Amino acid sequence: MLDSVYSNEAVIFFEEGVVSKEMTYSEFEAILDGVVGLDDFAGETMDAVFVIINGQLKITGAVFFTVSFDRQGFADRSWNLPLRHLVETGGSGPDLGAGPIRLSCKSQCSVSWHAESLWDPVMSPRSNSFVRLRDAIADNRLCLAVSKAVSAPVQRPADPRSTPDWDVESPAQAPQSPSPDDDAIFNSGWSGNDQGLSAQQLAVLETEHRNKMAALIKQQRLQLQALKNEAQERLQSNRLVQEKEIQVARIEVERLRSEQGSLHSQNLALREQNEAQRKQVEALTKARELELQTAEKAGKAELDALRKQYNEQMKQKLQEETAKLKEDIELRNMELMYRHDVAKQLREELTQLRKDKIRLVHEGGDKFLERLEDLGISFIAFHPGAGHVSIALKDMPSYMENPIAYAANKCLVSEEHYRMWLSHYHKPECQAPLSHDKVCGCRIARIDVPSQFVTGNSDRCEKHKPRSFGDNVVNLHA
């Protein structure tokens, strides 16, 4: 049946009614032999179609089969369908450009025990498996060889089982003009005086009508068989699901019954235990009441004796604590007097040390600095805004005590103002607060003169500068 020069074999995989993968039959055999696997189909049962393709990329035969893949993507090793035999023995199918194809599917299988491994094509107008097959082969994504010789479509004998309407628009169904032979058949025996068709014309029309009716009946039977198989599968699946649900429900009912019996037994036991405990509590209550009455009578005298004993003990303990506290107070007073004497002595020593320090400073450091000044040595310090400042010997103590205040005085601003300007000088950024712990931080022009720096204006960018300040305001702080 197959000509190796003009025919090709391919396998087309379908997923949700759409062509998902194409391969040649030799590649499919490599997958069956376990040489390679398909990771995309791992753990799935896929719908596939084995097709025979002639040299003009027209399908002449098709087998709709299923194949399962394990978790590693390898085909089921027990899979063994005689695809070529099923094509050769298949029934008539739709015309996909080369005449009616040989078709084997679940509803039309020549080997009945292989029907469970096949599937029925979808023939609805919206999604037709034959149309998708024809278009996929026509695209020739497998790069199959195309023969230049045009082969005539395969003509199969017309019988009552002729090809049905598969909802596939066949390329051979293009409108044709009537041939002279057809005109002769329909015009034979016809004259202007005849009032009807001749017997030959009626026979031709009747034969054509019967063939169309037979094709429609076969199509309906095949579709009904496919729907019947689908309904049986759904019914079987629903039946299995219902049986499992019934089995689970029965197990749950038995469990609930067993649990109910156990709870009932526990309830009876708890009732008996509760009744026994209630009687025991009543007996204990009566015994306790008698004991309390006896204890009240015997406890009054004992309570008076205990109260008297407690008062005497508290009085004695209070006297002891009072004497102890007096002794502690006397010790604290003596310790306080001693501390006053020590503090007085330390103050006197500190005063003497200060006098000695002042004397040593005047006698040592001042004389040394005076000698340096006599030698013409000047003391110069650099401060931003003030520049290089010459420090007189008489100002040395005040400079050493607070250099920042000294520099601020030289710049004619306050120490606080100078510190704020110094922060701006080292880091000229906008200090406008954005949140409780974040400021703007935008780079701004640096003010080099402290007296020209205005807090809240000079340290703000153009976006955050207040509108009430002028452009040339100088804020001087004494």
Write the CB contacts of 464 (distance below 8 Å, at least 6 apart in sequence): 430, 432, 440
Tokens found for residue 101: 């194809």
Sorted by sequence, the CB contacts under 8 Å of residue 175 that are 6+ apart come out as none
The answer to whether 168 touches 134, Cβ cutoff 8 Å, is: yes
Helix (H) or strand (E) holding 267: helix 199-363
pLDDT digits (tens, 9 = 90+) for 295-335: 788 888 788 888 888 888 998 989 899 999 998 998 999 98
User: Rounded distance, CA 245 to CA 251, Å?
Assistant: 10
pLDDT of 58 strictly over 90 = yes
| 462/242 Cα distance (integer angstroms) | 78
- Amino acid in position 452: Q
State whether residue 247 is helix, strand or coil.
helix
Give the closest residue to 138 by CA, choosing from 222, 58, 83, 192. 58
Question: What is the predicted pLDDT for the residue at 83?
Answer: 93
DSSP string of 13-46, one letter each residue: EEETTEEEEEEEHHHHHHHHTTSS--GGGTT-EE
Of 221-230, 238-247, 271-280, 398-407, the poorest mean pLDDT is in 221-230
Residue written as token pair 């009946």: 217
Asked if 61 contacts 23 with a C-beta cutoff of 8 angstroms, the reply is no
* Cα(410)–Cα(414) distance, integer angstroms: 10
Of 377, 373, 456, nearest to 417 (Cα)? Answer: 456
pLDDT attached to residue 363? 60
pLDDT 10s digits, 423-442: 989 889 898 888 777 888 89
User: Amino acid letter at 256?
Assistant: L
Query: Rounded to whole angstroms, how far apart are CA atoms 460 and 430?
Result: 5
How far is CA 193 from its chain centroid? 85
73's tokens:
């993507």
Helix (H) or strand (E) holding 381: strand 379-383
For 196-208, what is each residue's pLDDT tens digit?
568 888 888 888 8
- Spatial CB neighbours of 74, under 8 Å, sequence gap ≥ 6: 31, 34, 37
- pLDDT for the residue numbered 159: 40
Task: Answer for the pair 447, 453: CB distance below 8 angstroms, yes or no.
Answer: yes
Distance CA 383, CA 399 (A): 12
- Taking the C-alpha atoms of residue 255 and residue 263, their distance in angstroms, rounded to an integer, is 12
- Supply the mean pLDDT for the chain: 81
- Per-residue confidence at 110, pLDDT binned at 50, 70, 90? confident
pLDDT at position 365: 62
Categorize the per-residue pLDDT at 151 as very low, low, confident or very high, splitting at 50, 70 and 90. Answer: low
pLDDT in tens, 394-407: 777 788 888 889 88
Q: For the chain, what's the residue count?
A: 478
Report the pLDDT value the prediction gives residue 421, as an integer from 0 to 100: 92
Give the DSSP letter string of 73-128: SPBPTT----HHHHHHT-EEEEESSSSEEEEEBTTB-SSGGGGGGB-PPPB-SSSB
What pTM was computed for the model?
Answer: 0.41
Of residues 232 and 1, more confidence is placed in: 232
Q: Which of 186-195, 225-234, 388-397 has the highest mean pLDDT?
A: 388-397
pLDDT > 50? residue 42: yes
Angle among Cα 400, 401, 406 to the nearest 5 degrees reads 75
- pLDDT attached to residue 433: 87
Among 60-74, 112-126, 159-173, 221-235, the range with the most confident prediction by mean pLDDT is 60-74
Per-residue pLDDT, 191 = 44
How far, in Å, CA of 105 to CA of 107, rounded? Answer: 6
pLDDT number for residue 138: 92
If you write DSSP's letter for every residue of 391-426 in order, what string do you get? EPGGGHHHHHH-HHHHHHHHTTS-HHHHHHHHHHHH
By mean pLDDT, which of 146-150, 387-391, 432-436 is the weakest?
146-150
Residue 435 CB-density burial (10 A; 0-12 exposed, 13-18 middle, 19+ buried): exposed
Contact 222, 104 (CB under 8 A): no
Q: What is the mean pLDDT of residues 382-405?
A: 84
pLDDT of residue 218 exceeding 70: no
Look at strands 18-24 and 438-439 and give their pairing.
Answer: unpaired
Written as one letter, the residue type at 66 is T
Q: CA 410: distance to chain centroid?
A: 67
Evaluate if residue 374 carries a pLDDT over 50: yes
- pLDDT band of 132, cuts 50, 70, 90: very high
| pLDDT top residue among 58 and 396 | 58
Over residues 236-247, mean pLDDT: 86
